[in-house]
Amino acid sequence: MPKYVVATVDEIPPGQRKIITVERRSIGLFNVNGDFYAIRNQCPHEGGPLCEGVLSGLVRSEMPGEYEYVRRGEIVRCPWHQWEFDVRTGQSWFDPAKTRVRAYETTVETTTSLATSDADLVDAGYTKGPYEAETYRVEVDQQYIVLHL
Amino acid sequence: MVATARKNRGPVVDCDIHNAVWPGALDPYLAKRWRRHGQLFGSRTHPGSLYPKGSPAAARHDAWPPSGRPPGGDLEFMRKQHLDPEGIEYGILNCLGPAGTQLNAEYSSALCRAVNEWQIAEWLEKEPRLRAGVAVPYEDAELAVKEIDRFADHPGFVQVLLIVRTAEPLGRRKYWKIYEAAERNNLPVGIHFGGGARGVPITASGWPSYYIEDHTDMAQAFQAHVVSLVCEGVFERFPGLRVVLIEGGFAWLPSLMWRLDKHWKRLKEEVPHLKRRPSDYIREHMWVTTQPIEEPHNPRHLLQVLDHLGGSDRVMFSTDYPHWDYDDPDRAFRVRLPEEDRRRIFAGNAKALYGLR
Amino acid sequence: MVDTRETTYPGRLPRWGNADLVDCDVQVAVGSVDVLAPYLDQRWRDYLSESGVRAIDPHQYPKGAPISALPGSAPATGGPPGSDLGLLRAQVLDRWQARYAVLNCGFEISAIHNDDWALAMARAVNDWQAAEWLAPEPRLRASIVIPAQNPELAAAEIDRLAEHPGFVQVLLPVRAEAPLGKRRYWPIYAAAERHGLAVGIYAGGASGNPPTPVGWPSYYLEDYVCLSQAFQAQVVSLVSEGVFTKFPALRVVLIESGFTWLPALMWRFDKNWKGLRREVPWVDRPPSEIIRHHLRLTTQPLDEPGEPRQLIETIEQLGCDEMLLFATDFPHWQFDTEEGVLPSGLRPEVEHRILATNALETYRF
């Protein structure tokens, strides 16, 4: 499973996102309260750029007139037809079993663990990502988001 | 962004694209008197309903141009986001907005003229792939006819544009002069989704609560016009008239044809001006655009719908760009169309109807 | 005059054998307010006579229009079609060998804007149905007429009659003052659910709202055809407002609505729900699922295509064999031909469901 260093943690503050392209796939990276999630930037419905949509919460209800507003900042809505997807899992709200987008595992790794030799990285299963320049920066406290494709 | 799946499909004629009037766009085309009127009194249409749309400006979130103009208000961006990547050979512009439905008929007329001149200068002359509908003050047929006659000769205008939520059913006599002018100028009449109600609730029981109802029920406004245009004998009186139902969906049309035929058989003495079955007029005089395409659970049911319609020769593809309920040319049909139907729906029917090349 | 030769009023089809049959839509008509006199308080009897009210007729069915009455359905003794029990026995119950027939009285309470008078008239119509139709004829069941313009009064009227086993349904007009899903109507649904009564929405109503989303059409033909649009909007309203979330045991029957429009509506509605459901979060399933579970439709008028196969395909597009209820719509004249009763080509088990099973599962017979 190839891994890509795709962003620094500082780049995506909580509530923000970044669209990246990895192996010709457009993928959205989301920071939800300090945790990072990645899903494919293509809606399974008509192919809209899902991760460019509004990031909102989920309105649930047990009974007409009652609104339960939960998971604010964790639900992305396709910019086209407004289908709602959980950025943590890629599952759609209305049909979680069948309608979903691919979700990718992410990890946060420190400068120390990454700023070693290429050989170590290759051994560990990493492939060079688009953020080479920054990986050479020597910042002891820098953290990187690693995408597991 | 998602221009990945263009595959081998041929060119597309998109029968519903929206060019938006940006703030101040019409000023150069309005007399000082009407500019002043706009500043003082603004747009006055029938008060009625507030149903917040699925998204701001009812637009795709990714369709706001970097220039700061509204979605559909920036030709360069429209080219880049839609016309080029989707391989649009021709696009029919349906400029919405309050021009045609002003309560003040003279202001409505002035706004429509401005919209039409603005369409020529900013869209038709700048982009050869685009065609447009003539905006008209449709609640006043005499004023509407002036606009039709004024712009019909411009090759960029290919239809007369009405909005579906009119004050009365469109078969009624007050609208006949519009059809006479359209027929005389060989222009189809397009009827487009929307229009803000003109005081008439969207249901026979008044105003519903939610946008999902307003949007879903809009198909019924189209149905009422189909019934009215047929029953009033508009197609007997104007045998050259062609009507396009834009953004109404179409899966409901077979059922309506059956229902009309059935009850006409029993009640035809009331409408002796009809010489043929209602469905015969519909099949001959009416076209439909595909968006928002109905999505049956079993996609093959859409093929049944085409069969029930009597074929695909009156069905024309449309995207509704840049609106949120946009249909993508590669993904809208979730069933494989027979090649001949596909070619007709995506280009052939529209080219024939609008005389594109 | 319509040439009666072009239409023969049909009866049971030979292929049905002795199959059970329930007629879910038989119209009874109140000929004049005199009929109701025994069931009205003296105050209202005098009010009617002193103000010259002879009938309440919003002209939903023009008297002479060919669709309004089957030839021979008007009693020889006078009175409108659908006002004579003997004819109803002969032309419906015996002719069709109906186990039950559900009466729907289109007496237009919704045209009355005085709540107290509306309630008085509704009570009178209901008591008249109980005394003059249900009591003498055990095969009949009836629908409770209510003043829907005042849902509290309506609910009280439902409660008053709920113990009477002859009443199986509550009637609401499709052309109402407001979309029927709105919360103001919920006391009616609570009462219906409480008593195991179905709610029937009938092809009428005198609310004064234009009958189409674009105003008033010119012809009766348009008016009648466009009723199906009023029904579509009520389906959308009932689901969107969460009526079936609030009242999970409620069943709604669309009467004289046609049904071939429903698949397209379900597709459009489901598509919109996927994107807009956050506006109506209590709609927690695709609308089509809710519709299939809670909604039933009577079979006449059958808006049939020339090609029977297309009608069969449309019925299959409904995606549920439990939705259609056989109905004659007597004395309205809907049938075209023998085949117009039900389309040929239905699977026998589906046909039997339509003839009786679905009705037996819908109504508290």
Q: What is the architecture of the domain spanning A6-148?
A: 3-layer Sandwich (2.102)
Which residue of chain B comes nearest to A55, CA vs CA? Answer: B61
Q: Could you give the percent of chain B with pLDDT greater than 90? A: 91
Distances (CA, A) of C71 to C8, C81, C312, C329, C330: 10, 9, 29, 14, 11
pLDDT of residue A121: 58
CB contact under 8 A, C213 and B203: yes
Which residue of chain B comes nearest to A78, CA vs CA? Answer: B61
Q: Which helix (H) or strand (E) holds C314?
A: helix C308-317
Q: What is the DSSP letter of B206?
A: B
Per-residue pLDDT averaged across C336-354, rounded? 86
Place of tokens 């009763």: C341
CB-CB neighbors (< 8 A) of C175 in chain B: 204-205
pLDDT of residue A114: 63
CB-CB neighbors (< 8 A) of C209 in chain B: 201, 203-206
**Mean pLDDT score of chain C:** 93
* Per-residue pLDDT tens digits for B80-113: 999 999 999 999 999 998 899 999 999 999 999 9
Distance from CA of B209 to the nearest CA of C (A): 8
- Is the pLDDT assigned to residue C213 strictly greater than 90? yes
Per-residue pLDDT averaged across B300-318, rounded? 97
From the list A62, A66, A94, which residue is nearest C274 (CB)?
Answer: A94
Split at pLDDT 50, 70, 90, the class of A115 is: low
* Per-residue pLDDT tens digits for B60-80: 999 999 999 999 999 999 999
Per-residue pLDDT averaged across B20-38, rounded? 97
C-alpha C300/C-alpha C27 separation (Å) is 12
CB-CB neighbors (< 8 A) of B60 in chain A: 48, 79-80
CB-CB neighbors (< 8 A) of C282 in chain A: 61-64, 66
CB contact under 8 A, A62 and C282: yes
CB contact under 8 A, C272 and B215: yes
Which residue of chain B comes nearest to C312, CA vs CA? Answer: B304
Distance from CA of A48 to the nearest CA of C (A): 13
pLDDT of residue C196: 98
Q: Does domain B12-354 have CATH number 3.30.300.30?
A: no
Distance from CA of C11 to the nearest CA of B (A): 19
pLDDT of residue B179: 98
Spell out the domain ranges in chain B.
12-354
pLDDT of residue C339: 63
Per DSSP, the three-state class of B289 is strand
Higher-confidence residue: A43 or A126?
Answer: A43
CB contact under 8 A, C177 and B205: yes
pLDDT of residue C197: 98
Split at pLDDT 50, 70, 90, the class of C337 is: low
CB contact under 8 A, C233 and B205: yes
Top residue of A61, A78, A80 to mutate, by most chain C CBs within 10 Å, is: A61
Q: Is the Cβ of B268 closer than 8 Å to some Cβ of chain A?
A: no
Give the residue numbers spanning the domain of C243: 29-362
From the list A58, A64, A82, which residue is nearest C276 (CB)?
Answer: A82
Split at pLDDT 50, 70, 90, the class of A92 is: very high
Q: What is the DSSP letter of C91?
A: I
CB contact under 8 A, A48 and B62: yes
Look up the CATH number of the domain holding residue C319: 3.20.20.140
CB contact under 8 A, C213 and B168: no
Among C63, C209, C193, residue whose Cα is nearest residue C149:
C209
Which residue of chain C comes nearest to A93, CA vs CA? Answer: C274
* Per-residue pLDDT tens digits for B159-185: 999 999 999 999 999 999 999 999 999
From the list C271, C281, C286, which residue is nearest A60 (CB)?
Answer: C281
pLDDT of residue A88: 96
C-alpha A120/C-alpha B254 separation (Å) is 67
From the list B1, B328, B331, which residue is nearest A26 (CB)?
Answer: B1
CB-CB neighbors (< 8 A) of B4 in chain A: 47
Which residue of chain C comes nearest to A65, CA vs CA? Answer: C282
CB contact under 8 A, C286 and A67: no
pLDDT of residue B2: 41
Give the 3-state secondary structure of B178-205: HHHHHHHCCCCEEEECCCCCCCCCCECC
Spell out the domain ranges in chain A.
6-148
From the list B206, B254, B267, which residue is nearest C221 (CB)?
Answer: B267
CB-CB neighbors (< 8 A) of B2 in chain A: 42, 47-49
CB-CB neighbors (< 8 A) of B1 in chain A: 26, 41, 49, 52
Top residue of C9, C68, C186, C212 to mutate, by most chain B CBs within 10 Å, is: C212
CB-CB neighbors (< 8 A) of C335 in chain B: none
DSSP C40-73: S-HHHHHHHHHHT-------SS-TT-TTT--TT-
Q: What is the DSSP letter of A49?
A: -
Q: Could you give the percent of chain C with pLDDT greater than 90? A: 81
- Report the DSSP beta bridge partners of residue C105: C28
Per-residue pLDDT averaged across A34-48, rounded? 95
Top residue of C237, C239, C244, C274 to mutate, by most chain A CBs within 10 Å, is: C274
pLDDT of residue C8: 60
Among C184, C188, C214, residue whose Cα is nearest residue C201:
C188
Distance from CA of B12 to the nearest CA of A (A): 17
Per-residue pLDDT averaged across C270-286, rounded? 96
C-alpha gyration radius of chain A: 17
Q: Is the Cβ of B1 closer than 8 Å to some Cβ of chain A?
A: yes
CB contact under 8 A, B258 and C305: yes
Which residue of chain C comes nearest to A80, CA vs CA? Answer: C275
pLDDT of residue C230: 97
Higher-confidence residue: B51 or C138?
Answer: C138
Top residue of B4, B9, B55 to mutate, by most chain A CBs within 10 Å, is: B55
Q: Could you give the percent of chain C with pLDDT greater than 70? A: 96
Among B190, B134, B189, B182, residue whose Cα is nearest residue B157:
B134
C-alpha C128/C-alpha C112 separation (Å) is 19
Sheet with A143-148: strands ordered across: A17-22, A25-32, A35-40, A103-110, A143-148, A3-8, A126-127
- Is the pLDDT assigned to residue C354 strictly greater than 60? yes
Q: What is the DSSP letter of C330?
A: B
From the list B55, B328, B332, which residue is nearest A82 (CB)?
Answer: B55
- Is the pLDDT assigned to residue B230 strictly greater than 80? yes
Q: How many CB pairs under 8 A join A and B?
A: 47
Per-residue pLDDT averaged across A67-90, rounded? 96
CB contact under 8 A, A42 and B2: yes
Question: At CA C87, angle to CA C84 and CA C92, rounded to 5?
Answer: 120
Does C66 sit behind a cis peptide bond, omega within 30 degrees of 0 on the bond before it? no
Top residue of C185, C250, C278 to mutate, by most chain A CBs within 10 Å, is: C278
CB contact under 8 A, A60 and C242: no
pLDDT of residue B7: 54
CB-CB neighbors (< 8 A) of B169 in chain C: 212, 214-218, 222
Query: pTM of this prediction?
Result: 0.94
CB contact under 8 A, C226 and B210: no
CB contact under 8 A, B326 and A80: yes
CB-CB neighbors (< 8 A) of A62 in chain C: 245, 282
Distance from CA of A136 to the nearest CA of B (A): 30
CB contact under 8 A, B262 and C205: no
Per-residue pLDDT averaged across B246-255, rounded? 97
From the list B62, B328, B330, which residue is nearest A79 (CB)?
Answer: B62
CB-CB neighbors (< 8 A) of C275 in chain A: 78, 81-83
Place of tokens 């009652």: A66
Which residue of chain B comes nearest to C332, CA vs CA? Answer: B266
DSSP B219-280: HHHHHHHHHHHHHTTHHHH-TT--EEEESS-STTHHHHHHHHHHHHHHHGGG-TT--S-HHH
Extract the tokens encoding C66: 């060919």
Per-residue pLDDT averaged across B45-59, rounded? 85
CB contact under 8 A, A67 and C278: no
Q: Could you give the percent of chain A with pLDDT greater than 90? A: 69
Total residues belonging to chain A: 149
Which subunits sit against B, judged by 3+ Cβ pairs under 8 A? A, C
- Is the pLDDT assigned to residue B1 strictly greater than 60? no
* Per-residue pLDDT tens digits for B279-293: 999 999 999 999 999
